[in-house]
Structure 1
């Protein structure tokens, strides 16, 4: 069984106007690592996950989950 870690890194980056390279530089990782993380091709270490959450000033659960995040707009369908 493959362990999948879902994340909102791309959403947080776009909301804050941060490029992959800027985030990578701030975290001390290669910019391609950010792309791998965003696409779910790589699961971060606990240390890196905590540093990403700290960078965005949110709880780690806001960035990472073991189940898919609801799609934007799913909760607004009853409007």
Structure 2
């Protein structure tokens, strides 16, 4: 079986999920996707639709550019973090 290639972008989904104290199952329910899909996104094994990206952005309270990038992330600026 061929090795799966990583999708061509980086994301902070796992960091943001853990920071908010959410399990994969909880985040999946909030975004209305399967919990395995959350894991695939976190491991860069799945290219989510723009709809899923927008729902993740709404649920996590961070703009798309704070979650997804074509390039590896630097430290997250405090302006992107939720105040709570």
TM range (shorter): 0.7 to 0.9
Task: Give the equivalent residue in structure 2 for 1:38.
Answer: 42
Structure 1 residues 28 and 3, CA gap change in structure 2 (3 angstroms)? closer
Q: State the superposition RMSD in angstroms.
A: 1.7
String of CA shifts for 1:53-76, please: whole Å, max 9, x gaps. Answer: 11011111000011111268xxxx
Q: Give me the TM-score of the superposition, normalised by structure 2.
A: 0.78
Indicate whether 1:22 and 2:26 are aligned.
yes
Name stretches of at least 5 consecutive residues in structure 1 with no aligned partner. 73-79
**2:7–2:45 Cα contact (<8 Å) kept:** no
Over alpha carbons, which structure has the higher Rg? Answer: 1
Q: Give me the TM-score of the superposition, normalised by structure 1.
A: 0.82
Name stretches of at least 5 consecutive residues in structure 2 with no aligned partner. 1-5, 77-84
Instruction: Please give the alpha-carbon distance, in whole angstroms, between the structure 1 residues aligned to 2:8 and 2:44.
Output: 7
Number of residue pairs the alignment of both structures matches? 71
